[in-house]
């Protein structure tokens, strides 16, 4: 069956499970961001993503694989607690299915959060959120195969970044390099990414952004710097460090998201 048809079926199922007929915003919570979702308030509904057509359970620890419906300041928000990554081997269609489902359910604003390695330790600290100003899609994939050309001049909405800065005036911006993973980068790759103009490196987001733009939605991307990228710090990287940084920053991330929802 066609992927857009499955997304439309998933949107129908969401409507019947939540008794809402339309959503305003979708929020995708990446590694470490899941605890911040609680700051949005009491869910109106929550269930495993696998209850919806076309969804498979995420394979990675820290990716809860649940979907939540919550109303924040009058906005009907769909929250995916966890996402599918390209490195899980289920293909691009599985990676972008939550975004397709949300757009089919009416969402016009897509907020993508992720954990990222910091490539500029001189002005980034672990635990800081960084607004994504632009991206380098180095995943080797695209959700657009067979589709039309797509302008990505403003992949990440200037308007939404302005609203995020109103919510948290301390927010800085950066360019996110999206790689396939699942290995972390080598120090040589980190040097290459810095030279290429990237400020952040991670394994998600870029394909979801492209799909959201194809569907005409506005995108806001926020990275949580969970570690300094390989070779720039003395320590080797491990996934537990990424999750711990998320737990420690959940308060600030949660307040930021709640304040942002009220401004959308």
Binding site for ligand HPA (CB under 6 A): 115-117, 184-185, 201-203, 226-227, 229, 237, 242
Encode burial over 162-194: b for 16+ CB neighbours within 10 A, e otherwise: ebbeebbeebeebbbbbbebeebbeeebbeebb
139 is annotated as an active-site residue: no
Least Å distance, CB 249 to ligand HPA, is 13
Question: What Å distances lie between residue 218 and 19, 126, 157, 212, CA to CA?
Answer: 25, 27, 6, 7
Q: Is 227 annotated as a binding residue?
A: yes
Q: Is 63 annotated as a binding residue?
A: yes
Supply the DSSP symbol for 155. Answer: S
> Which residue has its beta carbon closest to ligand HPA?
117
Least Å distance, CB 170 to ligand HPA, is 21
* CA separation for the pair 257, 37 (Å, rounded): 8
Q: Is 135 annotated as a binding residue?
A: no
Q: What angle is formed at CA 18 by the lines to CA 263 and CA 110, rounded to 5 degrees?
A: 35
63 is annotated as an active-site residue: yes
2 is annotated as an active-site residue: no
* CA separation for the pair 239, 9 (Å, rounded): 34
Q: How far is CA 92 from the centre of its chain?
A: 15
Q: What is the rounded (10 degree) CA torsion for 114, 47, 264, 107?
A: 100
218 is annotated as an active-site residue: no
Q: Which of 93, 239, 241, 258 is catalytic?
A: 239
156 is annotated as an active-site residue: no
31 is annotated as an active-site residue: yes
Least Å distance, CB 224 to ligand HPA, is 8
Q: Which of 3, 87, 244, 259 is catalytic?
A: 87
Q: Is 122 annotated as a binding residue?
A: no
DSSP string spanning 71-83? EETTEEEEEEES-
Least Å distance, CB 185 to ligand HPA, is 6
Q: Which of 18, 29, 39, 85 is catalytic?
A: 85
From the annotation, which residues make up the binding site for phosphate?
31, 63, 83-85, 115, 204
Which residues are identified as catalytic? 31, 63, 85, 87-88, 115, 203-204, 227, 239
């Amino acid at each position: 069956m066609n992927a857009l048809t499955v997304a439309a079926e998933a949107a129908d199922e969401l409507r019947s499970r939540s008794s809402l007929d339309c959503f305003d915003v979708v929020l995708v919570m990446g590694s470490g961001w899941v605890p911040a979702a609680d700051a949005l308030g009491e869910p109106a509904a929550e269930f495993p993503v696998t209850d919806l057509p076309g969804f498979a359970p995420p394979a990675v620890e820290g990716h809860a694989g649940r979907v939540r419906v919550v109303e924040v300041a009058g906005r009907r928000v769909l929250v995916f607690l966890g996402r599918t990554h390209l490195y899980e081997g289920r293909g691009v269609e599985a990676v972008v299915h939550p975004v397709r489902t949300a757009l089919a359910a009416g969402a016009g604003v897509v907020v993508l959060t992720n954990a990222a390695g910091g490539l500029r330790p001189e002005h980034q600290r672990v635990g800081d959120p960084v607004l994504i100003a632009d991206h380098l899609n180095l995943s080797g994939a695209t959700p657009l195969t067979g589709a039309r050309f797509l302008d990505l001049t403003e992949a990440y909405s200037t308007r939404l970044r302005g609203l995020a800065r109103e919510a948290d005036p301390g927010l800085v911006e950066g360019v996110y390099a999206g790689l396939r993973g699942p290995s972390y980068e080598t120090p040589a790759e980190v040097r290459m990414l810095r030279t290429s103009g990237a400020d952040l490196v991670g394994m998600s987001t870029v394909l979801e952004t492209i799909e959201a733009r194809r569907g005409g939605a506005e995108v806001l991307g926020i990275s949580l710097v969970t570690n300094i990228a390989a070779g720039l710090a003395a320590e080797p990287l491990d996934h537990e460090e990424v999750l711990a940084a998320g737990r420690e920053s959940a308060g600030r991330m949660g307040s930021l998201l709640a304040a942002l929802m009220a401004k959308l």
